[in-house]
Amino acid sequence: MLVMSLLLGAALQLPSTLPAQAVTGVSDDATLPRRGELRVSALSVWNRWYERYAPNGTVQPLGTDFNFDTVGVGQFENLGAVQNSIRSLAGLPGFMASLGTSRVQVHDDILSTPLSLELGLTNRISLSVMVPFVTATSNVNFVMNPTGHEPTLGFNPTLIARGALSADSAFLAQFASASVQLNLAISRCAATPSGSGCAQLNANPAAPRALISNADSYAAGLAQVYGGRGAAGNLFVPIAGTVAQSAIEAKVAAYRAMYAAYGISAITATGPLGAQAPLTAADMQTVLTDSTFGVNAKPLATSVTRGIGDIEVGMKVNLFDSFHGSDSARLSPKGLNWRQSVGGIYRLGTGTLPSPADFTAIGTGDHQSDIELRTFTDLLYGPHFWISLVGSYTAQMADQLVLRIPDSPTQVILASYRQETVKRHLGDIVDIQVNPHWVLNDYISLAGQYFYRHKSADAYTGTFTVSDLAGNVATLDAANLGIYSGASEHRLGIGATYSTVATVAKHKSGLPFDISYFHYETTLGSLGRVPKIAVDQVTLRVYQRLFGR
């Protein structure tokens, strides 16, 4: 902002004014500065959106990708092993590992203050440069388990409670003691069949040995999930009081009863320690950020990114002007007139992108260079009405960057092992604008806009063989990053301009400037995930002569 203020102040101090265009408008057109004229534009552009268009054209909340009724294996693949183990231990083949329900609201906005300088080299050629200063904010409200009854899993107490591992180890030691005692009883009864309790043991010798084998195997499975016997166990275990934890405790009670039938009372505990509470939003942020859990990402929280956006350098050439350079004809037009210009922009990839570990942040630009070719056609009828037809084609250049690669576009919580350097080629863009203008007098004009954009799908390349969180070999295909990256978008806008340009040109004195307000919104989107954007833009343009006549 300081740089912009200094440059704009310098432009205002330039010594002389000059004839210029009549009242123009809020959008692009075929006009350009006259020879020696400097057009300084300072903008304040506020983009905001909290919804998007899905590929089928329906409207979705912006945070919909993070709203899960079940945060389970689909979001955290390392839940797969514990899910399978608990299905076996609890005897529940339909058990679903779930950390609960997530609700995420996202409201994004970008405040951009571009400074643009356009200089007329001749009456038909101009050069321009635009530097945007950008503040990009992603406002995130994250709620986990709003009712507290959604999840089946919580943190393993051995991770967070002192003494929990010792308690589980002591419980498993009871299983080991019961096994030892029953083995001793079997040996004793084999040697002395008439001993106390031996009749039942000797009646079916295979049964107690099967009990020992099954109980030892079950205890080993419990140790693997809950911890004990020198192991910390899984990161997540069933929550106390849930169906799965109760089923496991019922299995423990059954083994206790079977041992008791042989006179063995070593098992006194009800079972291993279950999780003590559902995960809160703060707990889930720990899961996302602590490398222990494998995601190693940024929190799902509000983020602000400030910096320079993608700088543009351009040229514009006027091919035809039915006013033939006549100021009087341009300021008091009659009949049908036509202006035709073409231009080109080289857009530097100076903007910044968010970290691949930040799933909701937005950047200040694409951080990728491209070339944009443009055509401008102005059709004027009489002194009050004219229309600008603007078309452009943007050819985006290939680059490479570090990203996390999903298996599908619905996978948005991505583990750190998925982070790789991929080749990127953003899809080319075709824009069409129809901008009608109504000039009320020498000072004020009104304008509308219809805008259409079609963007081809992005292309990402790179195939990587990695080890997933379970230690299994996995293949990552960067092409998945391009799914739903195409877009078809329609916008409608309206604005107004106050200008002194025409009156200064007529009276040869004063400061030529115009100030515009423009509002537009995305009214329809499809093919990809298209932000439903509302934009308010204020533009101040000042015209000063540097040389020539």
Q: Is the dihedral of CA 23, 28, 34, 39 positive or negative?
A: positive
pLDDT at position 137 is 97
- What per-residue confidence (pLDDT) applies to 15? 38
- Partner residues linked to 465 by β-bridges: 475
- Quote the pLDDT of residue 547: 83
> Distance between CA atoms of 174 and 188, rounded to whole angstroms?
21
How much of the chain, in percent, has pLDDT values that exceed 70?
A: 93
pLDDT tens-digit readout, 10-32: 334 433 333 334 567 778 899 99
Torsion angle, alpha carbons of 380, 511, 345, 379, to 10: 0
pLDDT of residue 442: 83
pLDDT given at position 3: 35
Which pLDDT belongs to residue 148?
74
Question: For 226-239, how does the pLDDT look when each residue is reduced to its tens digit (9 = 90+)?
Answer: 998 777 789 999 99
Between CA 368 and CA 364 the distance in angstroms is: 11
- Indicate the helix (H) or strand (E) that contains 345: strand 336-347
How remote is the C-alpha of 18 from its chain's centroid? 48
The pTM (predicted TM-score) of the whole model is 0.85
Tokens of 260: 């008791």
The Cα angle at residue 418 between residues 94 and 294, in degrees rounded to 5: 60
Site of tokens 């057009």: 39
More confident residue, 112 or 28: 112
pLDDT of residue 331: 61
Does residue 57 have a pLDDT over 90? yes
Instruction: Give exposure, 66-98, as e/b (b: 16+ Cβ within 10 Å).
Output: bebebbbbebbbbbbbbbebbbebbebeebebb
Q: What is the pLDDT of residue 461?
A: 98
Single-letter amino acid, residue 431: D
CA–CA separation, 4 and 43 (whole Å):
10
> What average pLDDT does the segment 491-506 reach?
89
Of the two residues 200 and 333, the one the predictor is more confident about is 200
Contact between 195 and 189 under an 8 Å Cβ cutoff? The reply is yes
Q: Residue 414: pLDDT band by 50, 70, 90 thresholds?
A: very high
Distance of CA 206 to the CA centre of its chain: 60
DSSP string, 154-188: EE-HHHHSTTHHHHHHHHHHHHHHHHHHHHHHHHH
pLDDT at 16: 38
Q: What's the mean per-residue pLDDT of the chain?
A: 91
The more confidently predicted of residues 17 and 143 is 143
Average pLDDT over residues 36-63: 95
**Domains in the chain with CATH codes:** 2-69+106-147+298-396+430-466+482-544 (2.40.160.40), 153-277 (no CATH)
Task: State mean pLDDT over 421-437.
Answer: 97
195-209, 289-303, 414-428: which has the minimum mean pLDDT? 195-209
Which range among 107-116, 144-153, 257-266 shows the weakest confidence by mean pLDDT?
A: 144-153
Pair of tokens at residue 357: 């570990």
What pLDDT is recorded for position 19? 36
Name residues whose C-beta falls within 8 Å of residue 265's C-beta, 6 or more positions apart in sequence: 259
With cut-offs at 50, 70 and 90, classify the pLDDT of residue 471: confident
Q: Does residue 229 or residue 252 have the better pLDDT? A: 252
Angstrom CA distances, 364 to 4, 42, 110, 142, 473, stand at 17, 18, 8, 23, 36
pLDDT higher than threshold 60 for residue 243: yes
Q: Is 267 exposed, middle or buried (0-12, 13-18, 19+ CB in 10 A)?
A: buried
Cα–Cα distance measured from residue 416 to residue 296, given in angstroms and rounded to the nearest whole number:
6
Say yes or no to pLDDT of 417 above 90.
Answer: yes
Q: Residue 79 to residues 84, 155, 304, 352: CA-CA distances in angstroms?
A: 9, 12, 32, 34
Tokens linked to 487? 């877009």
The DSSP call for residue 413 is: S
CB hemisphere CA count around 27 (13 angstroms): 29
Alpha helices in 301-457 (DSSP H): 327-331
Following CA atoms 537, 542, 546, 548 in sequence, which dihedral angle do they give, to the nearest 10 degrees? 100
Q: Which residue would you say has higher pLDDT here, 79 or 1?
A: 79
Residue 250 corresponds to which amino acid? Answer: A
DSSP per-residue codes, 3-64: HHHHHHHHHHT-SB------S--SS--S--PPTTEEEEEEEEEEEEESEEE-TTS-EEETTG
Instruction: Supply the pLDDT for residue 18.
Output: 38
Output the pLDDT for position 221: 95
Predicted confidence band at 329 (pLDDT cuts at 50, 70, 90)? low
Say if residues 80 and 65 touch (Cβ distance below 8 Å).
no
Task: Decide if pLDDT at 284 tops 50.
Answer: yes
d(CA 362, CA 358): 9
Q: What is the rounded distance in angstroms from the CA atom of residue 37 to the CA atom of residue 361? A: 41
Residues ≥6 apart with Cβ < 8 Å to 211: 182, 255, 258, 259, 262
- According to DSSP, residue 66 is labeled G
Between the CA of residue 537 and those of 359, 385, 493, 498, what are the distances in Å?
Answer: 28, 23, 11, 14
